[in-house]
Amino acid sequence: MKDVAKQRTIALLSHGGAGKTSLAESFLFLTKVSTRLGSVTDGTSVLDFEPEEIKRKNSLNSAFHSFPWKKHQITFVDTPGGENFLNDTRTVLYGVDSAVVVVDSVDMVKVSTEKGWFFADALNLPRLVVINKMDRERADFYKTLENINESFTSPKAIAVAIPIGAEDSFSGLVDLLTLKAHLYDKTGKATIEDIPANLESQAAEWREKLVEAICENDDVLIEKFLEGEEISVEALEEALKKSVLAGHLAPVVPCSGLKLIGLSYLLDCVVTRLPSPIDRGDVHGHLPGNPEAAAVRAPSPEAPFGALVIKTIVDPFAGQLTVFRIFSGSLTPDSGFQNVTRNQKERFGQLFALEGKAQKAIELAGPGDIVAVSKLKNTLTGDSLSDETSQAAFTASTPMVPVVSFAVEAKNKGDEEKVFAAINKMTLEDVTLRLTRNNQTKEMILSGMGQVHLDATLEKIKRKYNVDIVLKAPKVAFKETIKGKTKVQGKYKKQTGGKGQYGDAVIELEPLPRGSGFIFEDKIVGGVIPRQYIPAVEKGIVETMANGVVSGNPVVDCKVSLVFGSYHDVDSSEMAFKIAGSMAFKKAFMECSPTILEPVMLLTVTVPDEFMGDVMGDISSRRGKLLGTESHGKKQVINAHVPQMELLTYSPALTSMTGGRGSFSLEFAHYDDAPAQVRDKVISEFKPQEEKE
């Protein structure tokens, strides 16, 4: 078993395009795990290997790998930076001990960087920041560092190294603690020299800032600092690591991933300044089914086994691959564990370390490792795994709520079953995908995190399961109701020479308060309609209501009272009274000021302060009713009731308005009267169908 103190388990976080995956590829190349420097742009990436990722030149899934560095083992997760795939990023953060946040030296902090940082905040993950692409035109380390601290209040981003040159002249960095220059050749090898004369005063100034920031979080060192005493590099290093672990400081390093400049120093920072599982301490779970009863796991190979599933990968040929982080204990092939979330025993054969697309069989895994097993029967993302005799459940990520929905159907007739089977398999892998059926419109609805998310999902389904799926705008589930009250007769009389048909029902129709549904009241006295025919009248009315009268949408919120009628000893039947009830209801409905109800959603939008006015104005333009706002730091949460039909394209609209910095959630609120233009449109669109039938 390897030394857990020398294990580092990190996540790489950034906005798409900041060079996170390229940086990871450079790690593998520099440490000779890969024989060539993989590229996202030319399809040679070890980590972005899915065809959908190669096509978009962006990470769409979390990828896992590991490499050795100076007698340490670094296991990393390369997370997606695209807005549509951040749920995957948030989920895997539950399986790491720290985060390396990558920021572009030109584009600086962008939306997904912000969200990744806040995900890390929620989990108290220590952080290290990389200002990448220092070789890029207009690269500015100091402006980017300022932007990072303007964007995030905690932990404080503090430079532990400053760049030597920038753009084409970027050649290395100055370590601010040792005050030595690290100069890099084309292979990524560093030579350590004295600081260039033109950087001496600047390095001294930034070292002073670093030392002050470190000492501020240490009672002993701050006294020495204020008294002007010399503090050893070793003492500063120890205090810096403690500050990083406590979430006070985030060391910042300049580098160029593609040119391998600064990488060795960055990896030194990972092993010396980011925590091991032991540094992070015991993992606090709870007993299965009892959140109040603590179950603590020490990050030791000898402790009872405990792990959390952070990803599920489904392959039509290889089957299901379950990826999990081990918190405690050890695991070997041909063993098993208890899925405490589902109270199921699981057994497996081989144990794998993930190396991008490849899986390497291993004989032993322990705390800090992210490993995988195949073909588990009952285990999904978010499940807790532990020893059968010493069970513990761990906190897992809650899936983000989908924000866009489309109706789905098979492109080719006869593929319907294949479509839904394929989507259901994808939902095992991607927990933000939701497949539901709208019973009113008879449509199957696929919901996800955005248009790109759903497009990539359909491409993957086509590739894996050879089935084409068409996305369509979903129909809005309108309803019909009335505003007036009336009393009418419905008489059905038919004579064809033999036994005839006769049913006669007089009803009163009146509206009910919104959300009341339907009430049928039997007010027949004196036997004017025999008891056996009264349920038939109600059935005829209910069936008519289900199909609607003016728009083909269900009728709701009304009361029907059966008050009078007549019958024929020979010709009356249940069918005749069912038809009479339907005729009476249709006639009464048209006399009671029929109207259309539309579904109204509760829209909750979270945006930075500067976009609040634009977003509120847009909500009003969508016939929304503002319910109130709340302040959360530099962000505003806006609540409003907005008709569903006005929100079918809200996701791209909000992204455009806020530069991708806004987020929203939707839930059904109630039905409300549709305005005249909507009502007339819904009714007019139904008439051609009615005439066709």
- The CATH number covering residue 370 comes to 2.40.30.10
H/E run at residue 453: helix 451-465
Give bridge partners of residue 78 from the DSSP assignment: 12, 63
- The answer to whether 354 and 344 have CB atoms below 8 angstroms apart is no
Alpha carbons 28 and 141: distance in angstroms, whole number: 25
Distance (Å, rounded) from C-alpha 4 to C-alpha 299?
A: 8
CATH code of the domain containing 60: 3.40.50.300
Q: How far apart are CA 689 and CA 693, in angstroms?
A: 6
Residue 587 sits in the same domain as residue 633: no
Examine residue 397 and state whether it is found in any structural domain, yes or no. no
**Are both 190 and 248 inside the same structural domain?**
yes
Contact status, residue 209 vs residue 159, Cβ threshold 8 Å: yes
Instruction: Tell me 572's DSSP state.
Output: B
User: Rounded to whole angstroms, how far apart are CA atoms 174 and 259?
Assistant: 17
Closest CA to 519 of 530, 531, 527, 511: 511
- What's the CATH code of the domain at 512? 3.30.230.10
User: 665 pLDDT band (50/70/90 cuts)?
Assistant: confident
Residue 690 has pLDDT above 70, yes or no: no
**pLDDT tens per residue, range 190-207:** 999 999 999 999 999 999
Question: pLDDT category, 316, cuts 50, 70, 90?
Answer: confident
Whether 484 is covered by a domain: the verdict is yes
Confidence of residue 687 (pLDDT cuts 50, 70, 90): low
What span, in angstroms and rounded, lies between the C-alpha atoms of 85 and 99?
Answer: 18
Before 291, cis peptide (omega within 30)?
no
> How far apart (Å, rounded) are the C-alpha atoms in residues 514 and 674?
13
- Say if residue 450 is in the same domain as residue 513: no
Please check whether residue 239 lies inside any domain of the structure.
yes
User: Is residue 155 reached through a cis peptide bond, with omega within 30 degrees of 0 on the bond before it?
Assistant: yes
Residue 292: inside a domain, yes or no?
no
Q: Do 589 and 603 reside in the same domain of the chain?
A: no
Residue 68's identity, in one-letter code, is P
| Percent of residues, the chain, with pLDDT higher than 90 | 81
CATH number for the domain including 456? 3.30.70.870
Please report, in angstroms and rounded to a whole number, the separation of the first and last CA atoms in the chain: 73
Q: Supply the pLDDT for residue 693.
A: 40
Cα dihedral sign, 58-61-62-63: negative
> Which pLDDT band, with edges at 50, 70 and 90, does 101 fall under?
very high
Q: What pLDDT does residue 1 have?
A: 63
109 plus 133 within the same structural domain: yes
Tell me if 494 is assigned to some domain: yes
135/172 Cα distance (integer angstroms): 10
At 174, give phi and psi (nearest 5°): -110, 120
Longest dimension (CA), the chain: 118
Tell me what the mean pLDDT of segment 501-525 comes to. Answer: 95
292 beta partners: none
CA 182 to CA 120: how far, in whole Å? 30
133 in Cβ contact with 161 (< 8 Å): no
Q: Are residues 246 and 333 in the same domain?
A: no
155 lies in the same domain as 266: yes
| Predicted confidence (pLDDT) per residue in 24-79, tens digit | 999 999 999 998 888 877 778 899 888 888 888 888 899 999 999 999 999 999 99
Task: With CA atoms as reference, report the closest residue to 328 among 394, 423, 255.
Answer: 394
pLDDT above 60 (res 689)? no
CA within 13 Å, CB half, 169: 6
The residue from 224, 249, 280 where one domain ends is: 280
Pairing of strands 558-566, 518-522: parallel
> Do residue 369 and residue 410 come from a single domain?
no
For tokens 């806020």, what's the residue?
658
Does the pLDDT at position 414 exceed 90?
no
- Let me know whether 121 and 218 are in one domain: yes
Query: How many domains is the chain built from?
Result: 5
pLDDT of 543-569, one tens digit each? Answer: 999 999 999 999 999 999 999 999 999
| pLDDT in the model for residue 649 | 86
Question: Is the residue at 391 inside a domain?
Answer: no
Q: Give the per-residue pLDDT at 691.
A: 47
Q: Is the pLDDT of residue 683 over 60?
A: yes
In a domain, 436, yes or no: yes
Any residues with CB less than 8 A from the CB of 410 and at least 6 apart, and which? 416, 418, 419, 467, 468, 469, 470
DSSP per residue, 370-427: EEEEE--SS--TT-EEE-SSS--B---PPPPPP-EEEEEEESSTT-HHHHHHHHHHHH
pLDDT of 634 above 80: no
> Does the residue 174 lie in any domain?
yes
**638, 559 contact by CB (below 8 A):** no
Average pLDDT of the segment spanning 661-682: 91
Confidence of residue 324 (pLDDT cuts 50, 70, 90): very high
Same domain, 61 and 151: yes
Domain co-membership, 589 together with 618: no
pLDDT at 5 over 60: yes
Last residue of one domain, picked from the residues 280, 314, 340: 280
- CATH code assigned at 673: 3.30.70.240
Residue owning tokens 């004369």: 197
**Domain boundary residue among 333, 355, 386?**
386
Report yes or no: 252 and 159 within 8 Å, Cβ to Cβ: yes
- Give pairs for 612-615: CB < 8 Å, separation 24+: 612/636, 612/638, 614/657, 614/658, 615/654, 615/657, 615/658, 615/662
Q: Under 8 Å CB-to-CB from 513, ≥6 apart: which residues?
A: 557
Q: Return the pLDDT at 42.
A: 79
Q: Please state which of the ranges 200-214, 307-321, 394-408 shows the lowest mean pLDDT.
A: 307-321
User: Per residue in 396-406, is it b (16+ CB within 10 Å) or e — as a string?
Assistant: bbebbbbbbbb
* Residues 509, 424 within the same domain: no
Q: Best-predicted range by mean pLDDT among 38-42, 83-87, 596-600?
A: 596-600
Q: Are strands 172-175 and 72-78 parallel, antiparallel or unpaired?
A: unpaired
Task: List the structure tokens of 98.
Answer: 């720290």
Q: What was the pLDDT predicted at 54?
A: 84
The sign of the torsion formed by the CA atoms of 108, 63, 100, 660 equals: positive
> Containing domain of residue 32, as a range?
4-280
Q: In 10 A of CB 632, how many CB atoms?
A: 8
How sure is the predictor about 485, in pLDDT bands with cuts at 50, 70 and 90? very high
The answer to whether 13 and 99 have CB atoms below 8 angstroms apart is yes
CA distance 123 to 97: 10
Q: Report the C-alpha gap between 510 and 77 in whole angstroms.
A: 62
Candidate from 407-421, 637-651, 676-690 with smallest mean pLDDT: 676-690
